[in-house]
């Protein structure tokens, strides 16, 4: 045996020290206790008051011991299960594990046939789910758009109903409020085999988005209550703009968004202690000339890494952001911004990294971007696996075997490791010029489009149970009945 021998598994990366994290955590507690947040939900305020919060009008102040109690009950490690029992599609949340997937709700989508930007339609949800199901480095599914060709109130219900049968990777569901949250949950429960079975093996995560600065909207809070009462793992994430709706400094925006997220934490843990909870959110800067929330800024990656470290310091997982871009098309900017943020996210070990496939600053979803980023994620994951050091990998005996002037191609050692030590690309072209030339000199973007179309046309996800098919039809029929008199 060896004493005092330290092993680094993977690549080490750290933005903040323990002292800095404690100082930021103290800042969060101060904001919650002394400033408080506005909560636009009567029942939520009652629940929070019952937990020990001070309530005055809409303003809710939560003392440190209540926040710490909620942090103590929220789990750091848990599993989100594949609906079909395929263990390869389960997501194990825990230290050092990054998972990736698309994001919710852009109004537009890049059509994979015409490559033009147009409103997001229902069939796009099918394409996104099918492609995500097939991509080796995409772990969870979101729709990349808001469905425009169904009744407005049912966009989220149709989104889930369309995606659920087309991927067995866990879906992060988005909804407007209680009713459509319930549609979604009934579909998931039908496949799980009842509420009790669902609670044992939750197969989706619910996404709730409050407002910055420091406002918990009725809908966001209502959805947290729904999720907590039904045992659905929940994300409570703001989308703050540094310099606009949050302090301009990274430390300041991290403190504010953490406080915003912790409101959902305290509410959810009060209703159901132990419910899996993800801290948010999307932290980026307001571009002071373009006036947008930028999805390609270096500050996004840096602030998300800081937020990840704070979440992990507090013992809860984080809803990360990466693989996104401000570019309007699949080009060099999209590749640069997306790849770097994916790599940074992988390094930070953020638990669920979303928005892989966001383009045009979140205005347009592009599954093409997701497919390109799948490659960047694979690349990043190889680096993050680090360098293994042991007798087998040191290979001194192999070096002796081969000696000067020999080669390693034929050695058993090479044969044992060349598939696992090396990462092999799906899209990056490493062929010689002549082969690339003979194949039509295709640039990366053409290869991305080809691969996307091929997967969309050929991939067959594992189906839902026949009972679930029937349940989905009934649930959507009832949903249509519910909204038929609303414009």
- Residues near other proteins (CB under 8 A) are 405, 407, 409-410, 414-415, 418-419, 424, 432-435
Beta pairing class for 99-100 and 204-208 = unpaired
Strand partners, 159: none
Shortest Å distance, C-beta 190 to other proteins: 40
Using an 8 Å Cβ cutoff, are 104 and 87 in contact? no
How many whole angstroms separate alpha carbon 137 and alpha carbon 383? 14
Using an 8 Å Cβ cutoff, are 327 and 73 in contact? no
3-state secondary structure of 301: helix
Nearer to other proteins, 435 or 477 (CB): 435
Shortest Å distance, C-beta 352 to other proteins: 31
3-state secondary structure of 7: coil
Nearer to other proteins, 115 or 415 (CB): 415
Nearer to other proteins, 432 or 487 (CB): 432
Using an 8 Å Cβ cutoff, are 331 and 445 in contact? yes
Shortest Å distance, C-beta 132 to other proteins: 23
Return the closest-CA partner of residue 308 out of 322, 297, 323, 319.
Answer: 319
- Burial of 122 (C-beta count, 10 Å sphere; 0-12/13-18/19+): middle
Shortest Å distance, C-beta 428 to other proteins: 12
Shortest Å distance, C-beta 438 to other proteins: 10
The torsion angles phi and psi of 206, rounded to 5 degrees, stand at: -105, 140
Nearer to other proteins, 34 or 419 (CB): 419
Block residue for tokens 């703009």: 241
Nearer to other proteins, 116 or 437 (CB): 437
Kindly state the helix (H) or strand (E) to which residue 105 belongs, with its residue range.
none
Nearer to other proteins, 42 or 435 (CB): 435
How many whole angstroms separate alpha carbon 322 and alpha carbon 8? 25
CA distances from 143 to 118, 123, 356, 440 (A): 15, 11, 11, 33
Nearer to other proteins, 134 or 318 (CB): 134
CA distances from 12 to 290, 385, 387 (A): 35, 10, 11
Nearer to other proteins, 417 or 482 (CB): 417
Nearer to other proteins, 2 or 419 (CB): 419
Residue 309: CB atoms within 10 A of its CB come to 24
Nearer to other proteins, 392 or 474 (CB): 392
Shortest Å distance, C-beta 424 to other proteins: 8
Instruction: Calculate the CA dihedral of residues 20, 96, 78, 188 and round it to 10 degrees.
Output: 110
Longest dimension (CA), the chain: 83
Shortest Å distance, C-beta 27 to other proteins: 52
Shortest Å distance, C-beta 421 to other proteins: 12
Residue 273: CB atoms within 10 A of its CB come to 13
Nearer to other proteins, 201 or 417 (CB): 417
Helix residue spans in 357-465 (DSSP H): 367-385, 391-394, 396-402, 412-421, 433-438, 444-458
Using an 8 Å Cβ cutoff, are 131 and 459 in contact? yes
């Amino acid at each position: 045996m060896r004493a005092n021998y330290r092993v680094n598994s993977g690549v080490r990366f750290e933005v903040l020290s323990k002292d800095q994290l404690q100082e930021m955590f103290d800042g969060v507690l101060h904001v919650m206790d002394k400033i408080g947040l506005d909560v636009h939900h009567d029942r939520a305020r009652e629940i929070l008051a019952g937990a020990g919060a001070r309530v005055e009008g809409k303003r809710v102040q939560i003392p440190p011991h209540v926040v710490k109690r909620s942090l103590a009950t929220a789990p750091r490690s848990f599993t989100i299960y594949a609906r079909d029992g395929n263990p390869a599609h389960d997501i194990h949340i825990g230290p050092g594990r990054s998972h990736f997937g698309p994001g919710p709700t852009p109004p537009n989508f890049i059509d994979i046939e015409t490559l033009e930007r147009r409103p997001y339609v229902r069939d796009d949800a099918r394409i996104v789910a099918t492609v995500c199901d097939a991509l080796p480095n995409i772990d969870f599914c979101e729709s990349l758009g808001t469905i425009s060709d169904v009744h407005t109130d049912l966009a989220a219900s149709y989104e889930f109903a369309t995606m659920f049968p087309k991927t067995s990777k866990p879906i992060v569901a988005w909804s407007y409020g209680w009713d459509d949250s319930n549609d979604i949950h009934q579909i998931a429960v039908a496949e799980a085999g009842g509420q009790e079975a669902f609670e044992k093996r939750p197969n989706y995560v619910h996404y709730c988005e409050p407002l910055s600065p420091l406002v918990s909207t009725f809908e966001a809070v209502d959805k947290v209550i729904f999720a907590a009462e039904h045992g659905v793992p929940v994300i409570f994430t703001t989308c703050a703009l540094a310099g606009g709706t949050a302090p301009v400094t990274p430390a300041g925006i991290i403190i504010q968004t953490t406080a915003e997220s912790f409101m959902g934490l305290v509410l959810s843990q009060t209703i159901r202690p132990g419910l899996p909870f993800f801290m948010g959110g999307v932290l980026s800067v307001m571009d002071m000339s373009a006036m947008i929330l930028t999805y390609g800024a270096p500050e996004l990656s840096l602030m998300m890494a800081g937020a990840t470290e704070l979440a992990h310091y507090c013992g809860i997982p984080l809803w990360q952001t990466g693989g996104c871009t401000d570019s309007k098309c699949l080009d060099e900017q999209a590749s640069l911004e997306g790849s770097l943020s994916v790599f940074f996210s992988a390094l930070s070990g953020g638990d669920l990294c979303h928005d892989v496939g966001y383009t045009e600053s979140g205005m347009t979803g592009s599954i093409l971007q997701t497919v390109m980023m799948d490659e960047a994620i694979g690349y990043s994951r190889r680096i993050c696996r680090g360098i293994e050091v042991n007798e087998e990998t040191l290979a001194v005996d192999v070096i002796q075997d081969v000696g000067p002037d020999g080669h390693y191609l034929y050695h058993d050692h090479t044969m044992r490791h060349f598939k696992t030590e090396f990462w092999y690309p799906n899209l990056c072209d490493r062929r010689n010029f002549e082969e690339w030339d003979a194949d039509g000199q295709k640039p990366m973007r053409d290869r991305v489009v080809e691969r996307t179309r091929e997967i969309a046309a050929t991939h067959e996800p594992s189906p839902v149970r026949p009972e679930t098919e029937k349940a989905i039809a009934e649930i959507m029929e009832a949903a249509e009945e519910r909204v038929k008199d609303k414009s």
